[in-house]
Structure 1
Amino acid sequence: MQQITLAEASLHLPELIEAAMNGEEIIITKDEKPVVKLTLVASVEKRPPLFGSAKDLITISDDFDAPLEDFKDYM
């Protein structure tokens, strides 16, 4: 774990981000108090949707296939 002041962090942000991406934990301090922890975000594994997970989210009316009133002249 590395501690660095806010002023130093603003000057060396790209290097600090690279260090965090390599697994290092960086604490940024302001007025000698820790205020921010810079760490690698755990990757979120996207899983495939479960079969039936959208059940009852979409409804289709009973007359879905019925001709529309506005198109009677064209039929």
Structure 2
Amino acid sequence: MEIVNIHKAKTHLSRLVENAAKGDPFVIAKAGKPLVRVSPVDAPEGGQIRRLGFLEGHLKVPDDFDQIGADEIAALFGAEP
């Protein structure tokens, strides 16, 4: 994330805001101390990030998933295979 001082932010505000709207947020600092973060309005906040289902379409669960290793597990409990 880019950190810019107030003077640079005032000088290049249009470009910085345009980049932020495209998903490249930036921080405005005063005397090297970060003051504010500029990010797109529709960007999720820290507690709103959606994690459930983030691997959808990347993994394939076998149809017999609940039976994988059943014989080995039964043998561990003394059952006959």
Q: Could you state the TM-score of these two structures normalised by the residue count of structure 2?
A: 0.51
Which aligned segments of 4 or more residues in structure 1 are displaced greater than 4 angstroms? none
- The letter for the 2-side match of 1:20 is A
Report what 1:61 is aligned to.
none
Aligned residue pairs total: 43
Quote the Cα distance in structure 1 between the aligned partners of 2:37 and 2:17: 11
Q: CA deviation at 1:39?
A: 0.3
Report what 1:25 is aligned to.
25
Instruction: State the structure with more CA Rg.
Output: 1
1:40 aligned onto 2:40: yes
Which 5+ residue runs of structure 2 have no aligned equivalent? 44-81
Which one has a larger percent helix, Structure 1 or Structure 2?
2
Q: Percent identity?
A: 33
Q: What is the CA deviation profile of residues 37-68 of structure 1, one whole-angstrom value per residue up to 9, with x for unaligned ones?
A: 0100118xxxxxxxxxxxxxxxxxxxxxxxxx
